């Protein structure tokens, strides 16, 4: 994925395969922020108003596998498909159908495992 782009290497393929080519978002790396003591990061975000997917710049690293980046992009694309709902008076960003669809991603388990076992090492680099 280039530093700023209208799509990414995964976007077009994911768009065709899972969204019938109808997802119109752009993708970019998020802004680089100063280091903090925080040990977790928001790896991606989706702005409905801007139709923009931002991927955390810490993921622009040789140790990050392509399937993990692809999963992050897929997850953010799902936010463009599934609206935020209110459940029990609270906003629900990942309703059951969102989570179900996300688990259909072929490398879902492997990507989650990579995140759990490597994010601390990535943030420390």
pLDDT digits (tens, 9 = 90+) for 46-98: 998 999 999 999 899 999 999 999 999 999 999 999 988 888 889 999 999 99
Q: What is the mean pLDDT of residues 29-55?
A: 80
3-class SS shares of the chain: helix, strand, coil, % to 5 = 40, 15, 40
Q: What gap in Å lies between CA 42 and CA 101, rounded to an integer?
A: 20
Residue 6 binned pLDDT confidence (cut-offs 50, 70, 90): very low
Q: What is the pLDDT of residue 34?
A: 59
- Per domain, the residue ranges of the chain are 4-124
pTM given for the model: 0.84
Q: Are 54 and 44 in contact (CB under 8 A)?
A: yes
4-124: which CATH architecture? 2-Layer Sandwich (3.30)
Q: What gap in Å lies between CA 100 and CA 91, rounded to an integer?
A: 18
Residue 49: exposure state from Cβ atoms within 10 A (0-12, 13-18, ≥19): exposed
Q: What is the mean pLDDT of residues 110-118?
A: 96
* Helices 108-124 and 66-81, packing angle to 10 deg: 110
Q: Are 59 and 41 in contact (CB under 8 A)?
A: no
């Amino acid at each position: 994925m280039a530093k700023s782009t209208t799509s990414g290497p995964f976007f077009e393929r994911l768009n065709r395969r899972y969204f019938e080519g109808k997802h119109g978002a752009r993708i970019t790396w998020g802004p680089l922020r100063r280091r903090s003591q925080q040990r977790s990061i928001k790896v991606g975000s989706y702005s409905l108003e801007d139709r923009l997917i931002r991927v955390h710049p810490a993921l622009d690293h040789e140790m990050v596998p392509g399937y993990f980046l692809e999963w992050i992009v897929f997850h953010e694309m799902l936010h463009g498909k599934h609206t935020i709902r209110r459940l029990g008076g609270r906003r629900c960003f990942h309703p059951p159908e969102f989570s179900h669809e996300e688990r259909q991603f072929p490398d879902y388990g492997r990507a989650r495992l990579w995140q759990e076992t490597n994010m601390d090492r990535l943030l420390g680099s």
